[in-house]
Amino acid sequence: MSPPDRGESLEQTPRSFGYRMPGEWAPHTATWIAWPHERSDWPGRFSAIPEVYVGIVEELARGESVEIIVESSEAEAGVKRALRGADLPLDRLRFHRWPTDRSWLRDSGPTFVVRPESARQPGSVGGVRWRFNGWAKYDNWRRDATVAQRIVRVAGRPSWVPRLNGRRVVLEGGAIDANGRGFLLTTEECLLSSEQVRNPGMTRGQYEEVFSRYLGVDSVLWLPRGIAGDDTHGHVDDVARFVSPTTIVAPLEPEPADENHASLAENRERLQEWAYERRSLRRVVELPMPDPVRFRGRRLPASYANFYIANASVLVPTFDDPHDRAALSVLRSEFPGRRVVGIPCKDLIVGLGTLHCLTQPEFSTGAEPS
């Protein structure tokens, strides 16, 4: 039985078919990205951004296919020219000519869920299509709102549209992180604070119901807030990430005068309490924070936690900062079977996001979610 492209009743949600959001380290069929084109996102720095993307594609293609969304046939030709000098297996690249507003595919794309192989049913992959509204702050988002449906259609995956009381649920992929065994991280600032207008009036319990029904989540840890400079109102992928079913990495800021010091310490305390209460979560590992990165007087949301776990590599944002080496060392110890590589992101972060923000993993059929 194939799940329908809809879902309101409990019987018609991913959980009822045995699907669950996996940890990002589960095997990928591909990583989806959208080639950057919105120059206003990187004022005065846009010329440096395509080169960063070339490096990202080069690393991703070491272990999986890369699905690249471009604006037009002309844009595709330009991207192919940019990639020509890279060390790439060209058979792992596929292009899709779809107009978009921005290139932050983590937030506009679908969340892929997996049903593992069992004696009773074959493994399979599905997609959860959240409603996207430009982080409830930008006017140009309507083309991005079509991307999730396009991706699951091309990927040939069944999909669901989360609804609560008849209304589509707004959510971005950067707001959540999962371990594949039913645990999920998010922040109160992003989903519950008065500053966000994604789903007005939606309660903690209602979010947890949606996460259970559509992502197979059993337990949600609500961290207080995100980092300074984050224009998403506190996405969790800058403050805490699962690196295995039993381990979370989280940055700390030791400088008391830094505006991230108190909030990251509070997040860490809540993580430790949660790990203590749930014995299956064994470790909370400290990541450093880079020194503050500013552009035209504005604090930018630079964080080493915005890494991306690919099949063959872990791509880590670096900022030409004294703490880069320590961050890479921490993550190398957590991913001994993968190449952990720094991607220079000092220009990329001017667009208020880095590597996790721009990638969307499509998991493999039957991938074990733990």
345 is catalytic: no
**Where do the structural domains in the chain lie, given as residue ranges?**
10-363
∠346-361-288 over CA atoms, to 5°? 40
Cα-Cα end-to-end distance for the chain? 24
Q: What is the DSSP string of 299-344?
A: E----TT--EE-SSEEEEEE-S-TTHHHHHHHHHHH-TTSEEEEEE
Catalytic residue among 357, 361, 362, 363: 357
Q: Rounded to whole angstroms, how far apart are CA atoms 99 and 71?
A: 5
Residue 18, judged by CB atoms within 10 A of its CB (0-12, 13-18, 19+), counts as: middle
**pLDDT by 10s per residue, the chain, length 370:** 345 444 444 458 999 999 999 999 999 999 999 999 999 999 999 999 999 999 999 999 999 999 999 999 999 999 999 999 887 888 899 999 999 999 999 999 999 999 987 656 767 999 999 999 999 889 999 999 999 999 999 999 999 999 999 999 999 999 999 999 999 999 999 999 877 779 999 999 999 999 999 999 999 999 999 999 999 999 999 999 999 999 999 999 999 999 999 999 999 999 999 887 877 788 999 999 999 999 999 999 999 999 999 999 999 999 999 999 999 999 999 999 999 999 999 999 999 999 999 999 999 975 554 4
Phi/psi for 76 (5° steps) reads: -60, -45
CATH of the structural domain 10-363, one choice from 2.30.110.10, 3.40.50.300, 3.75.10.10, 3.40.50.1370: 3.75.10.10
**Tokens found for residue 273:** 């309490």
CB atoms under 10 Å from CB of 294, counted, come to: 11
Q: What is the pTM of this model?
A: 0.95
CB atoms under 10 Å from CB of 95, counted, come to: 17
**Tokens found for residue 247:** 């381990």
